[in-house]
Structure 1
């Protein structure tokens, strides 16, 4: 392979030109260009390339991740790309695969043939293996990959959060699965049915999960996302103070092929404020249209989401009616409301029994139930969270 010509081919990247700014591609290009310079130019560029390869891992996987998250003329016209776009992408893909096939040894051999004795013995210089090839070889192949795997901003992860007004992937997302959550079969079935409709592009409702603390509202939402992550379901978690990020999220979502849940956990307002009004407008009737691939799931310990005071019920009939309408105006905008109440004794003990079986705890049921009830009395009462904490305590005691 003519490595100096490969450097020229890299300059001709067009549709996939964003990859030209990737640090790995830049280091490759600098090393290739340095073959036309001095031995010192090559030594500096080659050393930087080695450092980048050692740090980043397999070059092919690095560039594939970057391509997966890219947006370009092909992704913008993914359903009906022009022949020229497909042709240009084919050139770019071939160039990138050629680049990935270059090993450190090939670069050093070429440099030795150019610079001769000006280079030290190749045997004492660092080297690296070629990278794995991309799983496609032309424009049609990359288009098929995008149609199957998706593309763009949300391609890199499943769970996202907002940090300093930026949407960022969650480094260590909660791996909880539905099989980990015991009880509440009816509630889980409602959420699953709505989520499957959303993924299928059918009509689906925003969901409000409300009820007592420790009943698994948040964990259920996260478990559902983990269940359908392979089908392209994403989640962005926001706090009440980050509700102003909705327009930004809508902009990103509108250009994404993925289905996205905006998740507001523990949603409660002290009063009707700017965030309260923004959320109402976002759900229904705002000027910024909500993309069809975006839905809202929220959890709260309060049915109406806003803290009520006795003073709200004072005054004449008109005042009381207006106040109550304000209080209910937000919760009424959720098409599906699902209640998570604390379990009765039998359901609580059923959850304990299932968790104990999953964890391999062998104890007579009567003794296990007695200890579980005592634990609940000392804690905050019966709940799935209390049951998990009790089982964790039993496991710790067995290990002691």
Structure 2
């Protein structure tokens, strides 16, 4: 019994030193969960109150994580390190160091609360420590050594952008993952087949590493421009396609996005929704420089998709057309200078009656709305008139209304 206690204490003492020696995965030491394990192991050489304090903090982090195995796996995948920087030809010494780090993490996952508490009782002769909360061991990581980890990084990707398929740029230019992005798929968007085909063709070329264009989707409101872009990303998220949605007012942070994208194995669509300018300002100039590549050039794994209700993106006034011939021409060239830099322009016009009713029919069938076709069309047309015209958005809203009324009656 005494021998077993000594063996456990020695193993935990060695693990405490090894966790401090993480190298390839050293960033994980700064994470809350791995950091809590390190603190509780260190506390075994301090005092019973210190151990109890850090043990409670570890339990708190485990409760917050929920699935501890998944939390460790995410921490490894979301990391950017010396191994991710040299995946094309990793050094054998580096792979060996990664193996050491993985062994440390798996040893932490194999620990139980009972083992930690027993070691503390032995160290401080305080049996009351056995009354602290308990927790079980967790499953090991799916890669046994550094070579397997390198293969995992190549196949699944790594770094910050592995956290989600969709990101947004908030105030201060901070890029944040969207935990539950819009799940719309192309099958949810009937109609506009020619437009969708053109966007898909360009996106597939981009994913295959071939020449691809920046795209401007312009046209009437409610025609599905934004939904189409999001649906395309959802179709190919399993191929590493990501979307970064940002407001036109954040255009000046493009350089930060470039820097982040350069170190990432994923491919990005930077999405500017409802793009327009009231005048030629700094954002207008920055966007032109982005499309043209600028002096530094934009990453090959990044393209821009933008939507707008106007083709020329900048509001054109009658004043732009006044003056002598030279000044008028200069003003008009300024107005069109940005939109002309998009390699592909796709128009989303208000659907005619037949296309609108086709969209209504498709959505009704998808949602199993059992309504006489003639009656369905009559109600759909009336709804569109009240909504100031036909559009895919009006069709979806109409179907939602019919479904709500149907469930009200049942």
Q: TM-score, normalised by structure 1?
A: 0.97
Question: What stretches of structure 1 of length at least 5 have no aligned partner?
Answer: none
Q: Distance in 2 between matches of 1:114 and 1:276?
A: 66
Q: Distance in 2 between matches of 1:238 and 1:46?
A: 42
Deviation at 1:9, TM superposition (A): 0.8
- Written as runs of structure 1 = structure 2, the 5 A alignment for 1:1-12 is 2-12=11-21
- Written as runs of structure 1 = structure 2, the 5 A alignment for 1:184-195 is 184-195=192-203
- Written as runs of structure 1 = structure 2, the 5 A alignment for 1:344-383 is 344-383=352-391
- Written as runs of structure 1 = structure 2, the 5 A alignment for 1:32-47 is 32-47=41-56
Would the aligned equivalents of 1:352 and 1:388 in 2 still touch at CA under 8 Å?
yes
Q: Match of 2:59?
A: 50
Q: Distance in 2 between matches of 1:121 and 1:199?
A: 56
> How many residue pairs were aligned?
398
Q: Distance in 1 between matches of 2:158 and 2:178?
A: 18
CA displacement 1:42-83 (0-9 Å, x = unmatched): 222212211211221122211111111111110111111111
Deviation at 1:5, TM superposition (A): 0.9
Say yes or no: does 1:278 pair with 2:286: yes
Would the aligned equivalents of 1:213 and 1:301 in 2 still touch at CA under 8 Å?
yes
CA displacement 1:241-283 (0-9 Å, x = unmatched): 1110111111111111110111010111111111111100110
Q: Match of 1:287?
A: 295
- Written as runs of structure 1 = structure 2, the 5 A alignment for 1:217-366 is 217-366=225-374
Q: 2:88 aligns with which of 79, 100, 117?
A: 79
SS at structure 1 position matched to 2:230 = helix
Deviation at 1:40, TM superposition (A): 2.0
Deviation at 1:310, TM superposition (A): 1.4
SS at structure 1 position matched to 2:297 = coil
SS at structure 2 position matched to 1:120 = helix
Quote the RMSD (CA, aligned, Å). Answer: 1.2
Deviation at 1:315, TM superposition (A): 2.2
CA displacement 1:263-313 (0-9 Å, x = unmatched): 010111111111111100110052232000010000011111111111211
Compared CA separation, residues 198 and 121, structure 1 to 2 (3 A): closer
Would the aligned equivalents of 1:247 and 1:288 in 2 still touch at CA under 8 Å?
no
Q: Match of 2:164?
A: 157
Would the aligned equivalents of 2:120 and 2:129 in 1 still touch at CA under 8 Å?
no
Q: 1:102 aligns with which of 105, 111, 136?
A: 111
Q: Distance in 1 between matches of 2:46 and 2:181?
A: 48
Q: Distance in 2 between matches of 1:232 and 1:222?
A: 14
Q: Match of 2:26?
A: 17
CA displacement 1:331-350 (0-9 Å, x = unmatched): 11100111111111011001
Say yes or no: does 1:135 pair with 2:125: no
Deviation at 1:131, TM superposition (A): 1.9
Q: Distance in 2 between matches of 1:186 and 1:125?
A: 65
Q: TM-score, normalised by structure 2?
A: 0.95
Would the aligned equivalents of 1:58 and 1:132 in 2 still touch at CA under 8 Å?
no
Q: Match of 1:147?
A: 154
Would the aligned equivalents of 1:188 and 1:220 in 2 still touch at CA under 8 Å?
yes
Would the aligned equivalents of 2:117 and 2:129 in 1 still touch at CA under 8 Å?
no
Q: Distance in 2 between matches of 1:121 and 1:21?
A: 27
Compared CA separation, residues 197 and 227, structure 1 to 2 (3 A): same
Q: Distance in 1 between matches of 2:53 and 2:329?
A: 76
Compared CA separation, residues 304 and 347, structure 1 to 2 (3 A): same
Q: Match of 2:100?
A: 91
CA displacement 1:139-176 (0-9 Å, x = unmatched): 00110110011111211111111112211112432111
Q: Distance in 1 between matches of 2:329 and 2:153?
A: 53
